[in-house]
Amino acid sequence: MDPQVLNALVMTIASTSLRTVDLILRLLNMRVTDIEERDDGTESHQYADSTMLVAITDVLCSVDRRVWARETSTEWWDHIVLQSWDDEQWLQNFRMRKATFMGLCDDLAPNLRRMNTRFRDALSVEKRVAIAIWKLATPDCFRSVANQFGVGKSTVGMVLMQVCRAINRTLTRRTVTLGNVQDILDGFAEMGFPNCGGAVDGTHIPIISPPHLASEYINRKGYFSVVLQALVDHRGHFTDIYSGWPGKVHDARIFRNSALFRRLRAGTFFPDHKITLGEVEMPIVILGDPAYPLMPWLMKPYTGKLDR
């Protein structure tokens, strides 16, 4: 066989599938072995097949393997967003100013930074955070976000989960905190609720119908959701959050299974600060709607009939 033709054939095979090449090598090796065992061929046939086997092996060792990927463009992110957008455009699209975004990236960098490989460069921390924030702040699908940032659709899903885990691991305890209790007590007192440390309620976060036990996630309003339980201060800032229960579950059950309930019952969530109203000694309480249980530290509306 012509060496140039053989070389072109092997290069074509090598660029399609290494498994196919391995199969061909096994077949050729079997053929040479078979000829030698049967001993019914000529020495030139054995020599030709052996030469072909050696040639294929030599060419395969010289093939520069690479990872195949679609051609994408990062022009929009690298040169338009990062270099041209002002704070107003950042607020409209990412719900935060560029300085805030960069500060967020600095906080998350230890958990999100990845090393380059011999196949490709890793996505920068800024691009990872931008992909996640864009997906969370807009109704765009994964395909649309992938085209926007010049990455693969699966990359968007992977990056979104990585950034959310990094935020949960790094920032949640720093931002969702009780803060100055006395300020909260004073704030609620001005609103007419003495010695009150917060208000608790649940909200439904819409989700796509899960593949299993979907009926458990249908809430009383008729759509699929998970529940976020939040305790807020007098300004509406989160001081405790608890999420993940299916939308069908009652708020009272979620509350009784939360760490907030256990800490309030044990008296470790708020400092020991009691006031006397009339003849009643009142600890710091939280406020809840009628769905929540009446507790010494939880006030709820009276649901019976009131006389004068």
> For residues 38 and 60, what is the distance between their CA atoms, to the nearest angstrom?
29
Task: Encode the chain (308 residues) as per-residue pLDDT tens digits.
Answer: 666 766 666 666 555 555 555 656 565 565 545 545 555 555 555 555 566 666 666 655 655 555 555 667 788 998 899 899 999 999 999 999 999 999 999 999 999 998 888 877 889 999 999 999 999 988 889 999 999 999 999 999 999 999 999 998 888 888 899 989 999 999 999 999 999 999 999 999 999 988 888 899 999 999 999 999 999 999 999 999 999 999 999 999 999 999 999 999 999 999 999 999 888 899 999 999 999 999 999 999 988 888 88
Maximum Cα–Cα distance across the chain:
117
Calculate ∠ Cα 255-258-262, nearest 5°.
100
Burial class (CB in 10 A: 0-12, 13-18, 19+), 97: middle
Q: Which helix (H) or strand (E) holds 238?
A: strand 238-246
